[in-house]
Structure 1
């Protein structure tokens, strides 16, 4: 029987818990600071923690062993992540965490659509229903009546 740490669902749920804590901690943390500067501080913390983990676990590899295609897409991913974080922190500065986070989670919907369009992935009817429900749920949580 596979270990729980070898299960994608375990890591996805853990990611969701940490993402939720990110929103709460960030909302509190940006109360008296510029949101872009707060994003810089957060990013530096992430870089330091990841460096310790990767080096400590011996997971480094020679930089010249990484293909140009891999470099390109990792750089594009990093740029998209940075833009996302800047926008997210700005949204948290201006709005309530309980409204911002659900709209941010529309990324789930966009990943599904982009996966179909650009990666050739296929969603079942159940998958499309799930995408629709996430969309509706995010909108319902974000709209003030």
Structure 2
């Protein structure tokens, strides 16, 4: 990998932590409502990220951000919250080994939304990989 592919290492780390999230959450959801568990998780994330931003000297005045930045970060936060609520409810009642892969249907949806809203153009090879992930989700999601 070249320097320009540093994003790939961060994405691999994201996948590892996302996998651990599913396992830890499934265990942690025993005996607790999924919405309360999501709130606790969100609080932990808030504390950890606050410490990280402060320690790395990345704090800036949020009032200096543009309206567009605020709007889309708020929309992203709302989408994240809705995703987490749905994910934790699915984990509460389903198997992690099935819920997590179906959740990755987001990969296919991101590709479609990126084409429509961001004018991105994945290559044929990239579409093949994205399509295979989508196919895998449908194989998992449908019973005979």
Aligned to 2:49: 50
Aligned length: 144
Structure 1 unaligned blocks of 5 or more = none
The TM-score, its normalising length taken from structure 1, stands at 0.93
Report what 1:115 is aligned to. Answer: 114
Aligned to 2:90: 91
The question of whether the paired residues in 2 share the 8 Å contact of 1:100 and 1:142 is answered with: no
Q: Unaligned regions of 5+ residues in structure 2, if any?
A: none
Whole-Å separation in 2 of the counterparts to 1:120 and 1:59: 30
TM-score normalized by the length of structure 2: 0.94
**Distance in 2 (alpha carbons) for counterparts of 1:123 and 1:27:** 34
Q: In the aligned structure 2, how far is the partner of 1:103 from the partner of 1:63?
A: 35
2:42 aligned with 1:20: no
Deviation at 1:138, TM superposition (A): 1.8
Report how far residue 2 of structure 1 moved: 7.0
Partner-residue secondary structure (3-state), 2:24: helix
User: Given that residues 109 and 131 in structure 1 are in contact (C-alpha distance below 8 angstroms), is that contact kept between their aligned partners in structure 2?
Assistant: yes
Alignment of structure 1 residues 1-145 onto 2, 5 Å = 7-145=6-144
Q: Take 1:55 and 1:25, find their aligned partners in 2: how far apart are those partners?
A: 27
**CA offsets 1:56-96 (integer angstroms, 9 cap, x no match):** 11100012220000000000000000000000000001100
Deviates more, 1:74-83 or 1:63-72: 63-72
Deviates more, 1:59-68 or 1:79-88: 59-68
Runs of 4 or more consecutive aligned structure 1 residues displaced over 6 Å after TM superposition: 1-4
Q: CA deviation at 1:143?
A: 3.9
